Amino acid sequence: MAEEEVDNLEPICEPVAKDETEYNMSHEGGRGYAIILFHTKFQNPEIYPERNFKTKTIYDTNEKTDAEHMIDVYRALGFRHIEVFENLERHQITRLVDKLLRPVSKIYNFDDKDCLSITISSYSDREASGRFQTYDESILFTDLWQSLSSDKIPSLGSKPKIFFYDCSRGSATDPGALLEKDDDKTPTSRTLAQQDEIDPKDMKLTYKKQYKLPRMADFFLAYSSAKGHRSYNEVQNSPFIEELKHVFIENQRKEDDQKDDLLSLMTVVTRQMATMYTDPLEGNKQCPSCTSTLIRKVYFRGNGALEDECTINFVTSDEFESYFRDKLKVDPR
């Protein structure tokens, strides 16, 4: 798009001041929408066997699927509108992100919401990296989040778009490396360079009421494994989601002024997975990774009790069309 066309775009209403260090996570409409794309059955079961496992964590009285564990995570984070789409076909997911989430559909209303979060739980494509498997075909990771940029959904402009990908990103395995701490030596830190002090009189700052942000800003992508590597969610419950649940729920139990931000939480998840988890079948390690274009910190303060009222909808592939037809009959939330 030409520069003059960008300048003529209608400005997006900024929910926080330009130099704020935190996103506004206290909109009147609540936390926002949490969507879980949960894939357990596939068109070709010889290549992609059914993966509907259950396990129980310290927070549960009964065994739960990975989707149900993620519901607990989202409820703890304060989400009150949660949708679980089960075994969708590729064209249905494409329609969801390319059309139904857009303002023109009048189904999802992000105007007074904090953010959007989407979790994907599935296999990766066996033959191509960077893709996850839907019921019938694979789809690029990027096809999901690039469809939700601020130029396509202006009401999500300058708001976090948070993705959790629980699927392999390749076939490589990581046997790990043995580390040993030498207790006789105390690590020290040294300054590598001395920064020159800047005279405030020499600093020229320009403030404008309007300013541009990259359309790809405000995204956070958390992957259950490093690029090119396997995730061990194919023959057992996801260790990534289990650790995510533990770290996030424990954080939400703290007082608001003691809570960590999203990136810090994911650092803890990554460390716990890297140091504590070993695949019981092959002895390999798994290390999550994150990609972020967030320009501020994300804190999930305030409402976050698991027992709070919450709307949770489970939607199968066969129910997909009728579900959204029914939603159009009522006012958008």
Band (27; pLDDT cuts 50, 70, 90): very high
Band (19; pLDDT cuts 50, 70, 90): confident
Q: Cα–Cα distance between 329 and 201 in angstroms, integer?
A: 60
Is the CA virtual torsion 107, 111, 113, 115 positive or negative?
positive
Torsion, Cα 310 218 153 317, to 10 degrees, reads -50
Q: Could you tell me which residue, 226 or 188, shows the higher pLDDT?
A: 226
Does any domain span residue 209? no
Which one, of 304, 204, 295, lies nearest residue 15 by Cα?
295
Contact 241, 66 (CB under 8 A): yes
Looking only at the bridges linking them, the beta strands covering 138-140 and 131-133 are antiparallel
The tokens for 22 are 């935190």
Q: Cα–Cα distance between 251 and 270 in angstroms, integer?
A: 15
Q: What percent of the chain has pLDDT over 90?
A: 54
Band (3; pLDDT cuts 50, 70, 90): very low
Mutual orientation of helices 239-252 and 262-276 as an angle, nearest 10°?
130
Does any domain span residue 158? yes
Q: What is the pLDDT of residue 9?
A: 52
Residue 95 has pLDDT above 80, yes or no: yes
Q: What is the pLDDT of residue 235?
A: 66
Which one, of 36, 17, 40, lies nearest residue 79 by Cα?
36
Backbone torsion region of residue 129, taken as left when φ is above 0, otherwise alpha when ψ lies between -120 and 50, otherwise beta: beta
Q: What percent of the chain has pLDDT over 70?
A: 80
* Three-state SS at 204: coil
Q: What is the pLDDT of residue 305?
A: 54
Task: For 260-310, give the DSSP string.
Answer: PPHHHHHHHHHHHHHHH---TTT--B---EEEE--SSB----S---TTS--
Q: What is the pLDDT of residue 26?
A: 92
Q: Could you tell me which residue, 235 or 302, shows the higher pLDDT?
A: 302
Does any domain span residue 91? yes
Residue 205 has pLDDT above 90, yes or no: no
Determine the structural domain holding residue 72 and report its residue range.
22-169+214-327
The predicted model gives 2-9 an average pLDDT of 44
Does any domain span residue 115? yes
Residue 194 has pLDDT above 70, yes or no: no
Does any domain span residue 192? no
The predicted model gives 10-26 an average pLDDT of 78
Does any domain span residue 204? no
Q: Which of 4-13, 96-105, 172-181 has the lowest mean pLDDT?
A: 4-13
Q: Which residue matches tokens 């990136």?
A: 263
Q: Which of 25-34, 139-148, 211-220 has the lowest mean pLDDT?
A: 211-220
Residue 282 has pLDDT above 60, yes or no: yes
Contact 165, 223 (CB under 8 A): yes
The predicted model gives 61-87 an average pLDDT of 95
Number of domains in the chain: 1
Q: What is the pLDDT of residue 162?
A: 97
Q: Could you tell me which residue, 49 or 183, shows the higher pLDDT?
A: 49
Q: Cα–Cα distance between 214 and 227 in angstroms, integer?
A: 25
Does any domain span residue 189? no
Q: DSSP letter for 184, please.
A: T
Mutual orientation of helices 66-76 and 239-252 as an angle, nearest 10°?
20
Residue 325 has pLDDT above 60, yes or no: yes
The predicted model gives 134-141 an average pLDDT of 94
User: Which of 110-114, 142-146, 193-197, 234-238 shows the highest mean pLDDT?
Assistant: 110-114
For the beta carbon of residue 278, count every other beta carbon within 10 angstroms. 15
Mean pLDDT score of the chain, rounded to an integer?
83
Band (306; pLDDT cuts 50, 70, 90): low
| Residues, the chain | 333
Q: What is the CATH number of the domain that holds 281?
A: 3.40.50.1460
Q: What is the pLDDT of residue 135?
A: 96
Bridge partners (DSSP) of residue 49 are none
Q: Which of 84-93, 163-172, 179-188, 189-198 has the lowest mean pLDDT?
A: 189-198
Does any domain span residue 300? yes
